[in-house]
Each structure stands twice: as C-alpha cells, then as structure tokens.
Amino acid sequence: MTERRVSWRDRFGEEVTCVRCLEVRDTSDVDRLLWCRSCLLTARRRATRRGWVVGISGALLLVLWIWWAVRPTDLVWGGWAATVVAAAWIGARAAREVFFGVERVLNRRAAEAVPPAVPDA
C-alpha cells in the first residue's frame, strides 16, 4: 500500500480567502501563507522599488567616499564606475530580499484589501 504525502493544502477546502486582499481564491492559487498571486506580485514590486532606493542611495554614498577619500586618478574611471554600478545592483537586490522577507514574516492581515463600495441610498 502506498502512502500519500500530506500537503498543507489538504487542511483547507476547495476555496480559501487570501489574507492580504480578502478575496476568495482557489486553493491552488494561494501559497502556504495564504497569499494570492496578485498580492505576492504587489509585495514583490513594492520591495523592488524600495530596494532600488536603498541600492542607489548606497551607490551615491560610495561615489562620495570614492571622490573624497580615495581620489581616483584619470586612469581608472571605468573601474570605479563599474564598482559603483555593481554596488548599486547588489545593494538593490539585497535590500529587495530583505524588504520582501520582512513583509512576508510580518504577514499583515488584509493589508491589500479594498473595502466594498457603499451603495447609494
């Protein structure tokens, strides 16, 4: 007799409510934290924007440090430019993952929910 693997989805019915937008979704459309795909993409886009702000800010600080502390010669401008671009990209990627991870760990309920429209009386 073969054993069937138990999944977290087995605990729920056919439809569940996304904890972020409060919309009823099919069980296959949510992840293990009960976030639907659209809420997941929204959180990922928000983390990406914040990550680029942090990455570019860090790159600007690096430019200031290079300009005042290192004082590069005219010979290696390309190397310093590549260093700054790499720092911006790596900083943005790292910050994006941190922001996304924090948002997933905090898992604020109904953060993306839109209240229903009130009918005119």
What's the whole-model pTM score?
0.78
4 located within any domain: no
115 located within any domain: no
69 located within any domain: yes
pLDDT digits (tens, 9 = 90+) for 51-90: 999 999 999 999 999 999 988 887 788 899 999 999 999 9
114 located within any domain: no
**How many distinct structural domains can be found in the chain?**
1
13 located within any domain: yes
47 located within any domain: yes
Query: Can you give the residue range of the structural domain that contains 69?
Result: 9-106
Q: Is 89 helix (H, G, I), strand (E, B) or coil?
A: helix
Q: What share of the chain in percent tops pLDDT 70? A: 90
